[in-house]
A and B are shown apart, each in its own frame.
Chain A
Amino acid sequence: MITYLSRHLQVLFATLGDMRRTPMTSINTLLIIAITLLLPSLLYVGIKSAQSLSSNWEGRPQISIFLQKDLSDSAAELIFEEIQLHPSIELAEFITPEQALAEFRLLSDDNVSLEQELTFLGGNPLPASIVVMPDKASAKSESLMALKDQLTQFDGIDTVRLDLDWTDRFNAILLVFSRVSLLLSALLALALVLIVGNTIKLLIFNRKQEIEITKLVGGTDSFVRRPFLYYGALFGLLGALISLGLLLIAAELTHQPMSDLATLYSSDALIHRVTLSEVFALIAIGTFLGWLAARWSVAQHLRNIQPK
């Protein structure tokens, strides 16, 4: 066991020495790996940040309650009072038909045709409505649906509309975005394997004679393979570390403007803070992909190099 370990340590240090002997090739490859790993990492941080943003969303959804058109003012007042007393509702606002029409006028840009139509309809067609904001506990999708159902039971209410559109749309976009990112990350991982695999291939051809002679003096396939696997894994590991450094620089550069933005919205930090386990995951993924690339390259090219 100890000889096995020391043999591996020997190869590890020999490989590090070899890397130092060809610094330009090593640095180029490491930077390519680092950038290839950085892109998915940035996407990940971006999605994580957006997810925490949508879950702590300050602007809670609104529920618009449209009252029946022929309801008397006193009946409407009664409904409004009842709704205000509902335990799940934090805020309620009564909008008279006149207020609604005034707002409509404000938003409409073709006032001439609007006035014509109003004349044609013979008065204000808009019903009175109540806009309510549920409290924080009820702001989740499921409880909102329940609240909506409760409100629909009230007498004198025509329709209840739940204004979930915005958050729904945001979450839907986020989902699409994270799927696309996942696909992109998979493609980048493949690119990384191809790049490292190609570097290992060049290394193998550079050491063709050494491999032949090693096999001649009785070196096993796994002995011949080992340094290349170390090369791949070390490339991945060091590339991941550089990528992590770049990620920290990016976080540092965006920290001030982001916290300014957060203060403006009286919100917590907008950028997802990378956790220790995510750091280890990045390093592990980098090392694994490097190793995998070497394994693939070695399987393709080492068998063909035999002593002549």
Chain B
Amino acid sequence: MIRLSHVNKRYPNGHEALKDVSFELAAGEMAFISGHSGAGKSTLFKLITRIEKPTSGQIIVDNQNLSRMKPAKIPALRREIGVIFQDHKLLFDRSVFDNVALPLIVIGMPHDEIKKRVRAALSKVGLSGKENQSPITLSGGEQQRVGIARAVINRPNILLADEPTGNLDEALSDEIIDIFSDFNRVGVTVLIATHDLRQVGRLGKRTLQLNNGALVQPNPTFSGDDLTSGDHQ
């Protein structure tokens, strides 16, 4: 579902955020990315959602080569990927309902259908009845869950979560990671960036470790060379 081969990302200020990163995440797989802050986790997500372009290397998401993707195709890519941001990225001048509904509004879904889906998503993350509140009145954990509801509302094939348990206590963290597990169980590919090693250990899923922009334990089954050689044919 997600394949990176020899990806480098150097920012204009000279900072090398990712160095020769190669890995593959199969459809329906769930994995963690761990690493200190600044290790390149957020950059990785920005590359997968085509917010940033790699300096070199190939990124393939759902059989689409992002390096060759035309700007007009980017919205379609982002509709396939639900992203949960560390800073939630909620609109505080809109209600919880409007925030969660946004991915459906942009695809022009009829209002009745949007209503049903938003209710279902909010109930899934345990926020039923908070539709009309402003996100600012919610706690950090609740805001995080509004972000999750928004990420999953359009039933994406891929879920990316950047530090979803950042400032939450253990019980709440477990709850949120379990929500991701549930989605993974129905076939969604999930990639979670976290430094919460407790979660990593608890679920026993594959873990990619980033250190100063490089993968510490390269995936033994995939070196990235298959992709490059295959791509040249």
Residues of the B chain whose Cβ atoms lie less than 8 Å from the Cβ of A210: 91, 94
Other-chain contact of A218, B89, B91, B94, B107 (Cβ < 8 Å): B107
Please report the C-alpha to C-alpha distance between residue A296 and residue B72 in the assembled complex, in whole angstroms.
20
Residues of the A chain whose Cβ atoms lie less than 8 Å from the Cβ of B83: 216
Is the CB–CB distance between B51 and A219 below 8 Å? no
Is the CB–CB distance between B49 and A214 below 8 Å? no
* Complex interface residues of chain A between 198 and 234 (CB less than 8 A to chain B): 209-210, 212-221, 223
Q: A159 → chain B, closest Cβ, in Å?
A: 78
**Identity of the chain A residue whose Cβ is nearest the Cβ of B103 in the assembled complex:** A217
Interchain pairs with CB closer than 8 A, number: 52
Of B73-81, B175-183, B221-229, the segment with at least 4 beta carbons within 8 Å of chain A is B73-81
What is the interface size of chain B, counting residues whose CB is below 8 A from a CB of the partner? 21
Is the CB–CB distance between A214 and B102 below 8 Å? yes
User: Is B110 part of the contact surface with A, judged by Cβ < 8 Å?
Assistant: yes
User: Is A7 part of the contact surface with B, judged by Cβ < 8 Å?
Assistant: yes
Is the CB–CB distance between A223 and B51 below 8 Å? no
User: Is A141 part of the contact surface with B, judged by Cβ < 8 Å?
Assistant: no
Q: A206 → chain B, closest Cβ, in Å?
A: 10
User: Is B106 part of the contact surface with A, judged by Cβ < 8 Å?
Assistant: yes
Dominant secondary structure at the A interface: helix
Please report the C-alpha to C-alpha distance between residue A29 and residue B91 in the assembled complex, in whole angstroms.
26
Is the CB–CB distance between A219 and B106 below 8 Å? yes
Is the CB–CB distance between A213 and B108 below 8 Å? no
Please report the C-alpha to C-alpha distance between residue A51 and residue B49 in the assembled complex, in whole angstroms.
65
What is the interface size of chain A, counting residues whose CB is below 8 A from a CB of the partner? 21
**Identity of the chain A residue whose Cβ is nearest the Cβ of B50 in the assembled complex:** A307
Other-chain contact of B78, A3, A216, A223 (Cβ < 8 Å): A216
User: Is A306 part of the contact surface with B, judged by Cβ < 8 Å?
Assistant: yes
**Identity of the chain B residue whose Cβ is nearest the Cβ of A220 in the assembled complex:** B75
* Complex interface residues of chain B between 93 and 135 (CB less than 8 A to chain A): 94, 102-103, 106-108, 110-111
* Complex interface residues of chain A between 14 and 57 (CB less than 8 A to chain B): none
User: Is A169 part of the contact surface with B, judged by Cβ < 8 Å?
Assistant: no
Are A218 and B103 CB-contacts (below 8 A) given A7-B108, A209-B91, A213-B91?
yes
Is the CB–CB distance between B51 and A3 below 8 Å? no
Other-chain contact of A308, B51, B102, B107, B111 (Cβ < 8 Å): B51
In the complex, which of the residues A218, A306, A308 has the most CB atoms of chain B within 10 Å of its own CB atom?
A218
Is the CB–CB distance between A218 and B79 below 8 Å? yes
User: Is B150 part of the contact surface with A, judged by Cβ < 8 Å?
Assistant: yes
Q: A235 → chain B, closest Cβ, in Å?
A: 21
Is the CB–CB distance between B89 and A216 below 8 Å? yes
* Residues of A that sit less than 8 Å from B by CB: 3-4, 6-7, 10, 209-210, 212-221, 223, 306-308
* Residues of B that sit less than 8 Å from A by CB: 49, 51, 72, 75-79, 83, 89, 91, 94, 102-103, 106-108, 110-111, 150, 154
The 8 lowest CB-CB distance pairs between A and B, nearest first, are A218-B79, A219-B106, A218-B78, A217-B103, A220-B75, A218-B75, A7-B108, A307-B51
User: Can you list 28 A-B pairs, Cβ within 8 angstroms, ordered by A?
Assistant: A3-B108, A4-B108, A6-B110, A209-B89, A210-B94, A213-B89, A213-B102, A214-B106, A215-B75, A215-B78, A216-B49, A216-B51, A216-B78, A217-B79, A217-B103, A217-B150, A218-B75, A218-B77, A218-B78, A218-B79, A218-B106, A219-B75, A220-B72, A221-B72, A221-B75, A223-B75, A223-B106, A308-B51
